[in-house]
Amino acid sequence: MAPPPSLSPPQLAAIHRAIVACTVLSALGCLYVLLHHFRLRRHTTPTPTQTMVAILAVVDLSFAVPKTFGHPGTRDMLRCNLQGFALSIVGLSTVLWNVCMAHSIYRQIVCRESEARLQRRLPVYVAATIVPAVSAAALQWALGMMGDAAFYCWLRDRVWHIVFLYVWVLLAIIYIAVVMFLTQRHLNQRARLQGNLEAYETSASITWQLRAYVVVFAVMWLPSVVFRLASEHLGAAYFPLAITMQCLLCSLGFVTSIIYGGLLRHPLRLCHRWLRMSHSDADKEYRRALSPPPFPSSTTNLQILHGMRQPVGLFVSTFNMGEGSISADELAKWIPRGYDIYVIGVQECLQLQELRQMLRRRIEGDEHSAQRAGARGSSARARFVRYKMFCREIGSTTTTLGYHVRPRGLALLVSRRSLTRFSGDDDIAQGYIALTVFVRLRDVTSGAFFMAPTSQQEVNCGMALPFGQRASNKGAVGLGFRYFDTSFAFVTCHLASDLKGKSHVLKRNRDAAEVLQSLHLSGDDLGFEFPLMHHHTIVLGDLNYRLRQHGASPPEILELVASARANFDVERHLISSWSSRARLVKSRRAIMARAGSESSFVLADSVSVASPQHSQDADVVSSVDQVNASGYSRYSGRDADATRWEDVLRHDELRHLLSSSEVFFGFAEPAISFDPTFRRIRGRSLPSARDSALSVAELSEFYTTALDGRGERVPSYTDRILHYSQPDMRTKLRCSLYTAVERVTCSDHKPVAAVFHTVIDRDCRPLLHGVDGESRPRMQDVQGVMECTLSIVCASLTWHSDAAANESEKRHQTLRVTVMFPLPSEDIFSEQRRLHVLAARLCGGVFGNEASPLKMDPKCNVVSVSIERFLQQGLTHSTLARPAASAMHVALKIHSDDVAATCVGQGVIGLPSSLLEGSDERAPFQMPLAVGGRLVGCLSGTVALTLKPPTDAVSDSPQSV
């Protein structure tokens, strides 16, 4: 191989002068970025992206500074090694930090992570950049690799150039290009989903910026790659390429200030305004001509615009399978048919895929049998209904050599002893924690169903693992979606159990709070707990709360259970249930006659009202057929079935915590009128309380109350179903059945099932259908979209504990109030809201707008102010939205004024229907504040909503993209 050409002294001097000149430019660009970064810190907290850009500017400048000292020569090896050591560190650091920035952008856009979560990942990025760079440089010095590198001291051998830097440059170019391509594809999908012109413009703006990142990184580094890898083949191009390479690499800081920092934003903005000046008036007139009539108008009643609200049935059930397998016969006794939505949560499930296949066959019916029976009539065909399955799970089934945990990509083998020690389990819990949702296929394909990709649908709460991970033997998974005009969130949990008779109720409370705070099921993570983002939330699972509130022993609990079973009044129950059932069937038939649509409510018509069959404890299918309409009440303790279990439930930990608002604040549970579901003897089922009474001794034969060397087991209601609704939506979700399934005997738990009913507007769709071509409307031109101005005035803010009050007082100067309106579940533009904010920050550089876009952009649904300003002046927020006559809500949280945004209280305000109909009067509100399911305070005041047709000022906002 021929040696590379050599450079003459004048050429080396010219290259050195170019290096110095470009380094000065980089220094100016770096100072510009840092100046804006520190100016930003004086009145707000920089975002993670802004912090990463500031770090990139410093790293880029550091890459050029060592070169300005020229070539120290190989005679002074200490200076030579120091220069080479510095260049090796900052050279590789520059490459790795660009990769980290690309990954951060991907996580923010595609994975929809919040800025708080991105901030927590920042130290990981720093470590992933510094540790490899310093380690590689130290290795090079230790092995004596430093020496003459043409322009300065660095690695003297070209092979080492490739191994320690340029192979990583090429890999970084490929990785950044792939990540940006995936991000661009995601942006295009979101734009097509929304279908309006602003969504496409915002997507195109961000896409252009991402492409610029890729092209600039490649252009700045490829000349260096070519120079180092093919120097002997360059010939006369050797010197021009050498000076070009050095100019580009030493100008990295200056280019960063332009691309990321927005150095040229002011000149470009002046040019843009000059070009638009002559066309702005014509554009405004054109938009006015195309705009549809205002909607709603002063003569339009919003209630008329919605079709008749129709019933929907939901079947919800949880089952800790105890690593057992269920038979088809048991499944048939557990799962009824004919509901619009099925939600099945399982824990400790080993055969998850097989179970899901069995569930689908059971819920949909037998297609082949329906086809064979088709010639005889349509009833068999009607029983076969297609469903779309949605699922999420955590855990594993590997049991060899102990328990195999898989916490989000990390696989470790943990011994049984260590798992028991840290997870709080007497018995090693294996298998999956899984949630499976079935929705009628016709509703999914018609556009009535929408499930947004979310940032966090699972949370691990098991033992602590390396690198901040948690084992997945305990935790939760969830799914959230919009169904016609109503949004739902479903979460299945498996919380910590007791250890050797010692209560772990405090750990269960912490895990429950972590689940509420960590899961995000409504699209982009904006820092609000998921129950506030949906109309109805149902939490189901093995919550592991025990009947140990007052320290009762197993015999004492069994005696109370036996007494409750003996007090069952058969005659009164049958008369009540039959008469209530008659009223229910009559009302349902009337509803169906008016609505004329299929619904799960027709199940009640298939059984004779006078039928004497009624077995609450037999199986869910028969219980559904015999459902008692009195269950529609808000779980009143005066119900006959519920009253007789009061003495048992006084010992329930969860009931005590719910009543004291310590966990799951705002959640309710249907009245329990069945036997404790844990810990049962496998293969046995309790006889119905209507058929026979059992003594304490006989009842103990169905429960395991003691384990050898592992303490006592108090029979308990560990398997629960809780639900939460927005304050003004609570009467719209009703429970008609809450029971345990005794006939399923494959586990030491019993399945618990509930039937819920709600009403929806089948004429409503969650999102607008996308349109193509020149017919794409602007946001303000979409039918029904109004300029909504929300005004909140605070009357009082109180805290319910001295600790919360002291914490608020201590941090009062650094607290902020953030309001979200409309909620993602009530917003036809939900998929593009955050993209507008991101585009406003990226266009012209991340420091191009030092005032937060959250305060100015009418396309954004989030606004934030300091708590002092909120308490004194209130808060006003204007945005483009389409008001919904059914319900609209405002989410509010009080949090720290930093990137972590530590929440001290949050809640939701339901807007009265009068405001949605255009009333100008202010409405009073009183909003409880909670954190992690614990009540901490209360905020009261007044709220107003002004609706008017969009104006040109909205579309021409300074922050419009």
What is the token pair recorded at 881?
A: 């939205």
Same domain, 77 and 201: yes
Question: Same domain, yes or no, for 811 and 921?
Answer: yes
Instruction: Indicate whether 390 belongs to any domain.
Output: yes
How much is the pLDDT for 557?
A: 95
Q: What is the mean pLDDT of residues 520-547?
A: 92
- The verdict on 805 and 729 lying in the same domain is no
Q: Please give the pLDDT value at position 621.
A: 66
Whether the per-residue pLDDT at 468 is higher than 60: the answer is yes
* pLDDT of 407 higher than 60: no
Average pLDDT of the chain to the nearest whole number: 80
pLDDT of residue 489: 96
Q: How far apart are CA 108 and CA 128, in angstroms?
A: 19
- Which residue among 263, 292, 317 closes a domain? 263
**pLDDT mean over 77-88:** 90
Helical segments of 602-692, H only:
620-625, 640-643, 646-649, 653-659
Number of CB atoms found within 10 A of residue 282's CB: 9
Q: Give me the CATH number covering residue 258.
A: 1.20.1070.10
Residue 520 has pLDDT above 70, yes or no: yes
Do 660 and 802 lie in a common domain? Answer: no
Answer yes or no: do 835 and 750 share one domain: no
Report the pLDDT averaged over residues 705-713.
Answer: 77
Residue 242 within a domain:
yes
891 neighbors 520 (Cβ within 8 angstroms):
no
Tokens encoding 702: 């169905």
Residues 787 and 757 in one domain: no
Is residue 923 within 8 A of residue 943, CB to CB? The reply is yes
Mean pLDDT of 590-611: 36
State the CATH number of the domain containing residue 591.
3.60.10.10
Residue 115 is inside which H or E element, if any?
Answer: helix 115-142
Write down the residue that tokens 């006003």 correspond to: 876
User: pLDDT grade, residue 506 (50/70/90)?
Assistant: very high
| pLDDT exceeds cutoff 70 at 551 | yes
Q: How far is CA 551 from the centre of its chain?
A: 38
Q: Does 295 fall in a domain?
A: no
Q: Are residues 743 and 869 in the same domain?
A: no
Q: How many residues does the chain have?
A: 961
Domain final residue, candidates 263, 278, 300: 263
Considering its fold, how many domains does the chain have in total? 3
Local confidence band at 613 (pLDDT 50, 70, 90 cut-offs): very low
From 263, 283, 317, the end of a domain falls on 263
Distance CA(412)–CA(400), nearest Å, equals: 12
DSSP-H helix ranges across 672-797: 696-700
Q: 383 and 524 share a domain?
A: yes
One domain for residues 682 and 784: no
CATH number at residue 817: 2.60.40.150
Residue 717 located in a structural domain = yes
Does residue 289 form part of some domain? no
CA gap 904, 827 in Å, rounded = 26
Range of the domain at 63: 9-263
Residue 287 lies inside a defined structural domain of this protein: no
Under 8 Å between Cβ of 7 and 15: yes
pLDDT-based confidence at residue 237 (cuts at 50, 70, 90) = confident
Q: Is residue 432 part of a domain?
A: yes
Flag whether 773 is in a domain.
no
Is residue 783 located within the same domain as residue 741? Answer: no
Q: What phi-psi label fits residue 666: left (phi over 0), alpha (psi between -120 and 50 degrees) or beta?
A: left
Which of 658, 771, 772, 768 lies closest to 723 in space, CA to CA? 658
**What is the structure's pLDDT at 478?**
95
What's the pLDDT tens digit per position in 757-781? 999 888 887 776 555 545 678 888 8
pLDDT in tens, 874-928: 999 999 998 887 789 999 999 988 777 789 999 999 999 889 888 888 999 999 9
Query: Do 713 and 784 share a structural domain?
Result: no
Q: What's the pLDDT tens digit per position in 97-134?
A: 999 999 999 998 988 888 888 888 899 999 999 999 99
Is the domain of 369 the same as that of 423?
A: yes
